Amino acid sequence: MKSTPFNITAVVSGPKAEVRITGVIGWDTDSETFRRQIDEIIAKGITEVDIYINTTGGSCFDANEIVNILSPFKIKTCRGGALVASAGAFIACSCDTFEMPENGMFMIHKPAGGVSGQSQDLESYLKLLRDIEKDYKILFASKAKDKREFEKNWSGSADWWMTAKEALAMGFATSIKEKVVYDQEMTSLLKASGCPVNKLTILNQNNTHMNLLDSLRNLFGLSDTADEQAVIGRVKPLQDKVTALESEKAALQAKVDGYVTKEKAAQKTEATDLINAALRDGRINAEGKASFEAFFNSDHEGAKTALAAIPVRTPVSSKIETPAQTADKFVKMSWDELDKANLLATLKTSDFELFKEKFKAKFDKEYAE
């Protein structure tokens, strides 16, 4: 992919200078413009400089020149961007402190280069390259906490890639700050620079984490600089509230379950009583009992309605009158009522004396055959 153009600026910000270095390090012409800027700042009595670096590297010679130009500052602090590699790592480690973002990447290797010309030109360049390599090794070795690990990686020809945590543990970084967001261009740049796949996987995970953090910041109305602790500070009360609501829900559910259990027990008792009553009054038989028991289990109210709609069976015996009941009925009825009910013949047969009394009362004379 196309390399990012080199850009270096120096300005005064309050009591200190601010230098920003991005892109592939290397001046197309010379370094005098930057040197004049720094000289003017030093002339103002500024003794502290804060340097921001985000670079894949570049010219080791120009990086060395930048370090020399910045050497008059008594205090030099450095802040790394997403990537500080190669020549950029040399500048960063030349500072008093070097802070990396938690998901930043750091890479060092031996200086490399090439030149064309006559033998004396090649010999001169080779000597210069060896001198620069020596300077690089001395600087990085002075920072490395694990000298054996440093020698093992430096003696090889491969790039030595480190995460921010690894760089801090090794001594190249002095502190770690909050994560930065990687865009697709930065991820592609890292890949093109030779960043190992396992390191890129970590970065992608970190980037996903950062996107989530940004979403949570927006959700809770927090500033762009709010860290994870600030987000946790907003989430924790919500978690506590959820826990309290879950406890309240569990308590209410227990009450509801208790009510349901009691209601089911009451319905079972009621169903048993209603079914037994229906058996006694003849509305259902033994087979109907089993059917209604299943009906009550599935639809209690529906079963009640259906059972109540079945008429009570009237015994045949209740419809048969006893002789005494018949006689008493005849005594109370008049001749006309008996005639209308077609009961005169019955009365004559069953109680001839009463028949004659009714006849005399009606016609005011004795009955004669």
Q: What band does 220 get if pLDDT is binned at 50, 70 and 90?
A: confident
| Mean pLDDT value across residues 185-191 | 72
Q: Between these two residues, 212 and 267, which has the higher pLDDT value? A: 267
Q: Between these two residues, 3 and 132, which has the higher pLDDT value? A: 132
Q: Is 13 helix (H, G, I), strand (E, B) or coil?
A: strand
- CA 100/CA 174 separation, integer angstroms: 8
Residue 2 reports pLDDT greater than 60: no
H or E stretch at 356:
helix 352-363
Reported as a single tens digit per residue, the pLDDT across 122-159 is: 888 899 999 999 999 999 999 999 999 999 999 988 89
Q: What band does 212 get if pLDDT is binned at 50, 70 and 90?
A: low
Amino acid at 120: Q
Tokens of 264: 């089911």
Other C-beta atoms within 10 Å of 26: how many? 16
Reported as a single tens digit per residue, the pLDDT across 340-357 is: 989 888 888 888 888 888
Q: Which range scores top for mean pLDDT: 208-212, 221-225, 261-265?
A: 261-265
| pLDDT on residue 77 | 98
Q: 145 with 169: CB under 8 angstroms?
A: yes
| pLDDT on residue 89 | 98
Q: Which residues contact 253 (CB under 8 A, 6 or more apart)?
A: none
Taking Cα atoms as reference points, which of 24, 35, 164 lies closest to residue 86? 24
Ranges 4-18, 102-116, 128-142, 225-239: which has the least confidence: 225-239
Q: Is this prediction's pTM over 0.75?
A: no
Considering the domain delimited by 7-196, tell me its CATH architecture.
Alpha-Beta Complex (3.90)
Q: 347: buried, middle or exposed (CB in 10 Å: 19+, 13-18, 0-12)?
A: buried
Residue 205 reports pLDDT greater than 60: no
Give the residue extent of every domain in the chain. 7-196, 244-308, 321-363
- Alpha carbon separation from 252 to 238, 241, 277, 318 (Å, rounded): 21, 16, 37, 56
Q: 315: buried, middle or exposed (CB in 10 Å: 19+, 13-18, 0-12)?
A: exposed
Number of H helices, E strands in the chain: 15, 8
- CA 301/CA 292 separation, integer angstroms: 12
| pLDDT on residue 157 | 80
Query: In the chain, what percentage of residues exceed pLDDT 90?
Result: 46
Mean pLDDT taken over the chain: 87
Q: Which residues contact 182 (CB under 8 A, 6 or more apart)?
A: 82, 103, 203, 204, 206, 207, 210
Residue 74 reports pLDDT greater than 70: yes
